[in-house]
Amino acid sequence: MPPTDKKILSIFGTRPEAIKMAPVIRALEQTPGIKSLVAVTAQHREMLDQVLTLFKIEPDFDLNIMKPGQDLFEITSGILLGLRGVFERSKPDLVLVHGDTTTCTAAALAAFYQEIPIGHVEAGLRTGDLRAPFPEEANRSIVSRIASMHFAPTNTSKKNLLAENINEKIIWVTGNTVIDALLSVRNTIHDHNPYDWLTLPNKTVKAIENIPEKLILITGHRRENFGQGFIDFCAALIKIAEHNPRWLLVYPVHLNPNVQKPVFDLLQNARNIHLIPPQEYLPFTWLLDSCDLVITDSGGIQEEAPSLGKPVLVTRAVTERPEAVDAGTVILVGTNPNTIADQAVDILTNNTRYAAMSEAHNPYGDGHAAQRIVDAILEFKIPKKTKPAPF
């Protein structure tokens, strides 16, 4: 009799989870002995759909929970209640969640409540500060307590898990799947005509084709930076733009209203700052590959930029991704406007420093993380119940 397929349900809901789970889903789908199902919470809607379209992922379940300006209570309760029925209908052997969003933690909790084993992709990242990033550090720590398989992207993240007494036998160091995704699109981006990308305004393509003295790519969305943090961040960008009129700053603005409002209020009149919509992954990779410097508080971009040899200023006090800081490509600058502006100008005008920082590094992966995850799932004896045996 042929062995029964392992039924794996991957659950995600935001843009970065979709980008990082796409290679895993592709690998699961291509593996005999596995039946792959996908549930999206749609914690993000437009920004999620951009990725689903690019990677041709058709979810089996869509909770469609996003509401404008949603809070953490609404996201968490919507996912918990929505997944109950999904689990009843799909009866997975293993649920895969990714990273540290509220989708990740609420989905893991829902699986735990129904005693379905959990595999945690991108496990073990830690800042050591429960409030930074907020709520992600708590989110990922909670999932580590209840997961049955931990896919750590690096040895540093494995060490973090071991320090929390997670059994080494259920930790696999795989590399980060974001590098799989990046490498899968990177070689194709220059085959495209940038004027064809619908999310990228022609005006911005034209300004880049006119070869600005320096091109800086910017993103920002962390909750702990809302309010004064974003005001300071914008002040830094104005300072950089005004003092360097031949530089171009391109900023795809996250759709969160807490980001949109200060950014458009403070920056929309700056001549050499282009505020553009969130980019599909291909044009975003093109921008990343074309720029000289990145200023961001994003997690995923801290991982992608080093492998393209792009220096990064991270507008946060702490990072859970120390590998590229150690390699010298990433610098933590916080949100002080003078520090951000001074560092950006120094890196872009000091050739020796720039050369050292822009050496390409791949501390986060080699493009084969998804296959390692699938291999681990194939070989692992998935426990039938997550509840510990009675004393």
| Residue 239 neighbours by CB under 8 Å, 6+ apart | 337, 338, 341
Told to check if 45 binds ligand UD1 by CB under 6 A, we report yes
Active site residues: 100, 122, 136, 221, 223, 254
Site string for ligand UD1, 74-93 (x = CB under 6 A): -x------------------
Q: What is the rounded CA–CA span in Å between residue 139 and residue 154? A: 19
- Whole-number Å distance between alpha carbons of 212 and 24: 38
Q: What is the spatial distance between Cα 369 and Cα 308, in angstroms, rounded to a whole number?
A: 18
| Residue ranges in 49-68 that form contacts with ligand UD1 under rule CB under 6 A | 66-68
- What residue has token string 């990145």? 294
The Cα–Cα gap between 370 and 33 comes to 16
The nearest distance, CB 67 to ligand UD1, in angstroms, is 6
Build a one-symbol-per-residue string for 39-68: x at contacts with ligand UDP by CB under 6 A, - elsewhere. ------------------------------
- Residue 215, classed as helix, strand or coil, is strand
Tell me, letter by letter, the H, E, C secondary structure of 298-348.
CHHHHHHHHHCCCCEEECCCCCCCCHHHHHCCEEECCCCHHHHHHHHHHHH
Which helix (H) or strand (E) is 36 found in, with range? strand 34-40
Q: Which of 8, 11, 12, 14 binds ligand UD1 (CB under 6 A)?
A: 14
Smaller CB separation from ligand UDP, 19 or 24: 19
With CA atoms as reference, report the closest residue to 97 among 74, 120, 115, 117. Answer: 120
279 touching ligand UDP, by CB under 6 A? yes
Which is closer to ligand UDP, CB of 96 or CB of 377? Answer: 96
- Only one of the segments 15-23, 69-77, 89-97, 358-366 lies at the binding site for ligand UDP (rule: CB under 6 A); that segment is 15-23
Q: With contacts defined by CB under 6 A, name the span among 58-66, 124-132, 258-266, 275-283 that binds ligand UDP.
A: 275-283
Q: Annotate each residue in 127-166 with x if it binds ligand UD1 (CB under 6 A) or - if it does not, as one string.
A: --------xx------------------------------
- Contact set with ligand UD1 (CB under 6 A): 14-16, 43-47, 66-70, 72, 75, 101-102, 135-136, 221, 255-257
